[in-house]
Structure 1
Amino acid sequence: MPGDNIVVAVRVRPFNDREKAMKAQLVIEMADGKSTGIRDPSNMSEEPKMFTFDHSYWSHDGYKTESSGYLAPSDSKYADQKKVFDDLGKGVLDNAWKGYNCSLFAYGQTGSGKSYSMVGYKENKGIVPIVCEDLFKRIEKNKKKNNGTQYEVFISMFEIYCEKVCGALISLKIGR
């Protein structure tokens, strides 16, 4: 990811209970980790309309729930939280560590899985908490070198819902 200006990813999530009860039809398919196709549900025999992204993550099925509660891949197609972080969050973390301002956006309809990818749920931590954990581990490791460096971390998270900005600004100052 270093050197990239904009990376675009799409992720398909499992059906929720409401969709299962409605016997929703899966109209999304993904191929080669970069292509996402969508079919017209009224004509499933028609070829899908294909779109290309930097990353296309299949998280609809192909996972097993470990005893810890983590959703781990049971086949190579499934993209777990670790895969999403490695592809998207690690570059943000590396660039932030170098002193660059970084942004990560999640866009989609309500219920599409943005919060799960960004924040996660229980043992399935999303990009933001993993970035924070790794960032503070790096800071602690460097502080042990006793080089007198002070660290200042600013994290801003904003939600835009129904065209209204709801925001929380978290500012942390770390150092001696």
Structure 2
Amino acid sequence: FKRRLGMADGESVRVAVRVRPFNSREKERNAGLCVRMSDKATTLINPENQQEKTFTFDYSYWSHDGETTRSDGYNESAGPGMGTGGSTYADQLKVYSDLGQGVLNNAYEGFNSCLFAYGQTGSGKSYSMVGYGTNKGIVPIACDEIFKKIDEIKTGADAEKFQFQVTIQMLEIYNEQVRDLFSKTNPSGGLK
């Protein structure tokens, strides 16, 4: 396998931010938008004095608005520049393509890989990582891709040359407790 995407250029950490749509509580309170994105730049706007502070990340994803929902329920971009301020909606496949595919390619090369989502409750971590319905997140898309690749190799001419071992963990740290999200039971007090 060749490392076509991801961290083959020597980078070991990538940082991405994603702006989610307003939730129902924010809509009820007529919340105002205080962020703007352009390419890799994310600008925060202080609502009290309109002072701006711009940060640059490896990836800045606009998912606040500018989407359309297909008949199967998948949310995709309504088109370039259709979001607030000319932003283009970043759908789940875009986020996976940029972040998940590189991690997966490194795993194919035999390297341990890790995706780390950080943010307060309700900020969109679970949606980006797991998703729901047809809007699969990074983890289920990566799992689908892993097993498709294994099936391709198993049916290939050199199938007998390969052995496969797939190990995956998904942990959550909440209130200083570690939980295994793939386990039906977790010890009280979290994992140690």
- TM-score > 0.5, shorter chain as reference: yes
Match of 1:163 in 2: 176
Indicate which of 21, 43, 47 corresponds to 2:49.
43
Task: Give 3-state SS (helix, strand or coil) of 1:25's partner.
Answer: coil
1:63-91 superposed Cα distances (whole Å, 9 cap, x missing partner): 00110000010022110001101100000
Q: Gapped runs of 5+ residues in structure 2?
A: 1-5, 81-87, 184-192
User: How far apart, CA to CA, are the structure 2 residues paired with 1:53 and 1:70?
Assistant: 27
User: How far apart, CA to CA, are the structure 2 residues paired with 1:42 and 1:82?
Assistant: 36
> TM-score, normalising length from structure 1?
0.91
Match of 1:16 in 2: 23
> Between Structure 1 and Structure 2, how many residues are aligned?
167
Match of 2:13 in 1: 6
Indicate which of 24, 29, 40 corresponds to 2:36.
29
CA 134–164 in structure 1, closer or farther in 2 if over 3 Å, else same = same
1:69-120 superposed Cα distances (whole Å, 9 cap, x missing partner): 0001002211000110110000011111111000000000000000000001
Q: Percent identity?
A: 54
Q: Gapped runs of 5+ residues in structure 1?
A: 171-176
Task: Give 3-state SS (helix, strand or coil) of 1:154's partner.
Answer: coil
Task: Give 3-state SS (helix, strand or coil) of 1:2's partner.
Answer: coil
Code of the residue aligned with 1:97 in structure 2: it is Y
Match of 2:108 in 1: 97
Code of the residue aligned with 1:41 in structure 2: it is P
Code of the residue aligned with 2:178 in structure 1: it is V
What is the CA distance between 1:122 and its match in structure 2? Answer: 0.7
Task: Give 3-state SS (helix, strand or coil) of 1:56's partner.
Answer: strand
What is the CA distance between 1:148 and its match in structure 2? Answer: 4.7
Code of the residue aligned with 1:10 in structure 2: it is V
What is the correspondence of 1:7-156 to structure 2 with a 5 Å cutoff?
7-32=14-39, 34-44=40-50, 46=51, 48-76=52-80, 77-145=88-156, 146-156=159-169
Code of the residue aligned with 1:8 in structure 2: it is V
> TM-score, normalising length from structure 2?
0.84
Kindly indicate which of the two structures has a greater share of residues assigned to strand.
1
C-alpha contact (below 8 Å) 1:36/1:52 kept by paired residues = yes
